[in-house]
Amino acid sequence: MSTIKEIKVPDIGDFSDVEIIEILVKPGDSLKAEDSVMTLESDKATMDVPCPEDGQVAELLVKVGDRVAEGTSILKLQPAGASQSVSTEVVQAPTPSASTPSTDPTPASVPVATASVEVIVPDIGDFQDVEIIEVFVKPGDSVNVEDPLITLESDKATMEVPSSDAGTIETVLVKVGDRVSAGTAVVRLSTSGGVATAPSVPAASTPEVAKADSAPTTAQAASTSSVAEPSKIDEAAFRKAHASPSVRKFARELGVDLSKLSGSGRKNRITKEDVQNYVKQAVTKAEAGVATTPAASGSGIPAMPEVDFSKFGEIETQDLPRIKKISGKNLHRVWLNIPAVTHHDEVDITDLENFRKELKDEAAKQGVRITLLAFIMKALAANLKQFPTFNSSLTPDGERLILKKYFHIGVAVDTPNGLVVPVIRDVDKKSVYDLARDLGEMSIKARDGKLKSQDMQGGSMTISSLGGIGGTAFTPLVNAPEVAILGLTRSRMQPVWNGKEFIPRLMQPVDVSYDHRVIDGAEAARFVASLGKYLTDIRRVLL
């Protein structure tokens, strides 16, 4: 009788307390290794949990709605018995004699016809037009079911696309930098058609017949046993490393701490080659009798020293909200990569504020709370038409500008968990009432944590307003891949000289930060001056 095993949630990266949204199996179901057993969903990504081995579901230990983390037991599995035979409708695989172990791992089968199939991007949750950052295969490569083919990365999550069939790659239909969605074909695969064979299980006495591409991995693991020390892996830092699930698994097999590596991939992503190179360097140094040293991480900036604050008095440690963790990484990346400059000015909005007050009662009848921000959005969209460079993004190679023909404005919203930036679309085509209504709806969704990924993508330029809190000026960080951001603080009455006398005017501070690689100081000054004209006399928006 086979031993009942508990199947646990594997390493799922920097995620914990993730909700189960779907259970794909039930007691009595037979499973193959890598079959999906359930689907997890965090606030930023959806992922399947695979079965690690063949067997039959004995008992489910969780249900839909439960929250799990790495190491949580999810089901009990009765592993497939070693003596069980494997059959198909066409052929029965012979069982090797126990006294004469086979030296040929190739299963018994009959000649089969081959078929060409296209592997498509499966349902990847609430993501569309996602960028390919890694392609793992090339024509001629052999792949098994669930082997990763490509890696996708949105601004909020990273995910791999697995092969749906086993076979040989005929054609790779995509490349790094392409954008795909569910249903996009990624490779064409030559696979056996219609007849299954017994699973290939290499005999213990014939390790030389293992897959050729696994030989380097085995050799590396054996040769680095003295230099790669799994016991010294910093689990917390390992989880935060920017790497795909397959690279994480590969690193764990070799005992490599990903937190000690710098990534050579797009957006400093750690690749399989980075892990291999790290191991090679460790082996070389060990053979030469030189102590191994960790690779520099991030930008090479020295890390802040760890301080034990408890020795100074009572303390309390709290987890940083997930939104702040995600936005923090992005802001740090922006700070290191974008040479930003901020232009400060003041705009007379006396007449605009009077006009807004006149519309207040009329807007209330339509169930809309009209704010100054709706007018500023309208003025900003009109200004972007006059200065198309501000409505652009720089290509990753820094050689070209992508000029946008749409006018979508992002608005930073303060929530209990941190700032989020929903995007209001087609601002140039909407009335002030429409914008006020959209702002109200998006703000509610943001505070309730119900924003979808597409609600926060595709902005032309972002507005960060602190007017409801205070301040006289600040330096907002550019919301990459945008090239500029408008900051607003509290407006205040000031005496303004009109040539004859000082008169009270309502002045609005404006702060525009911009990517100096795309926009120079003179252009920024002209942009702010033009925006001031729109806000001083909102009728100019109609021209």
Tell me the pTM.
0.48
| pLDDT, average across residues 471-476 | 94
**75 and 137 together in one domain:** no
| pLDDT, average across residues 200-218 | 36
In a domain, 377, yes or no: yes
**184 and 217 together in one domain:** no
94 burial level (CB within 10 Å; 0-12, 13-18, 19+): exposed
- Hey, is 438 helix, strand or coil? helix
* Contact partners, residue 25, CB within 8 Å, separation at least 6: 31, 35, 37, 38, 57, 60, 75
Does position 360 have pLDDT exceeding 50, yes or no? Answer: yes
In a domain, 58, yes or no: yes
Q: What is the CATH number of the domain that holds 247?
A: 4.10.320.10
The stretches of 241-313 forming alpha helices (DSSP H) are 245-254, 272-287
- The pLDDT value given to residue 192: 64
Phi–psi pair at 25, nearest 5 degrees:
-135, 170
* Dihedral sign for Cα atoms in the order 248, 252, 253, 258: positive
Last residue of a domain, one of 190, 205, 238: 190
**385 and 514 together in one domain:** yes
- The pLDDT value given to residue 97: 40
Does position 218 have pLDDT exceeding 60, yes or no? Answer: no
In a domain, 299, yes or no: no
| pLDDT, average across residues 348-366 | 94
Q: Lowest mean pLDDT of 64-68, 113-117, 138-142, 481-485, name the range.
A: 113-117
Q: What is the CATH number of the domain that holds 6?
A: 2.40.50.100
**335 and 372 together in one domain:** yes
| Maximum mean pLDDT: which of 185-194, 208-217, 291-300, 328-337 | 328-337
Number of domains in the chain: 4
Strands 502-515 and 484-488: antiparallel
Tally Cβ neighbours within 10 Å of residue 413.
Answer: 20
pLDDT band at 113 (very low <50, low <70, confident <90, very high): low
**220 and 354 together in one domain:** no
How does pLDDT run across 49-102, given as a tens digit for each residue?
A: 888 888 889 899 999 889 998 889 999 988 886 434 333 333 343 444 433 444
For residues 405 and 385, what is the distance between their CA atoms, to the nearest angstrom? 9
**48 and 126 together in one domain:** no
Last residue of a domain, one of 38, 60, 80: 80
Q: Lowest mean pLDDT of 217-226, 234-243, 353-362, 526-535, name the range.
A: 217-226
Which segments within 382-491 are labelled E, that is strand? 392-394, 401-403, 409-411, 413-415, 418-420, 423-424, 461-465, 484-488
**363 and 417 together in one domain:** yes
In a domain, 303, yes or no: no
Does position 211 have pLDDT exceeding 50, yes or no? Answer: no
**220 and 184 together in one domain:** no
- The pLDDT value given to residue 346: 97
- The pLDDT value given to residue 35: 84
Closest by CA to 177, choosing from 219, 141, 209, 130, is 130
In a domain, 292, yes or no: no
In a domain, 454, yes or no: yes
- 516 classed as catalytic: yes
Q: Identify whether the C-beta of residue 407 lies closer than 8 Å to the C-beta of residue 428.
A: yes
Phi–psi pair at 344, nearest 5 degrees:
-110, 140
**455 and 386 together in one domain:** yes
**458 and 523 together in one domain:** yes
Tokens of 31: 């499973």
Q: Tell me how long the chain is.
A: 543
Closest by CA to 20, choosing from 11, 29, 9, is 9
Instruction: Provide the residue range defining the domain that includes 266.
Output: 213-287
Last residue of a domain, one of 29, 58, 80: 80
**222 and 365 together in one domain:** no
**26 and 117 together in one domain:** no
In a domain, 497, yes or no: yes
Name the residue with higher pLDDT: 426 or 302.
Answer: 426
- The pLDDT value given to residue 195: 39
Q: What is the CATH number of the domain that holds 354?
A: 3.30.559.10
Does position 342 have pLDDT exceeding 90, yes or no? Answer: yes
In a domain, 331, yes or no: yes
Q: Lowest mean pLDDT of 207-211, 290-294, 420-424, 435-439, name the range.
A: 207-211
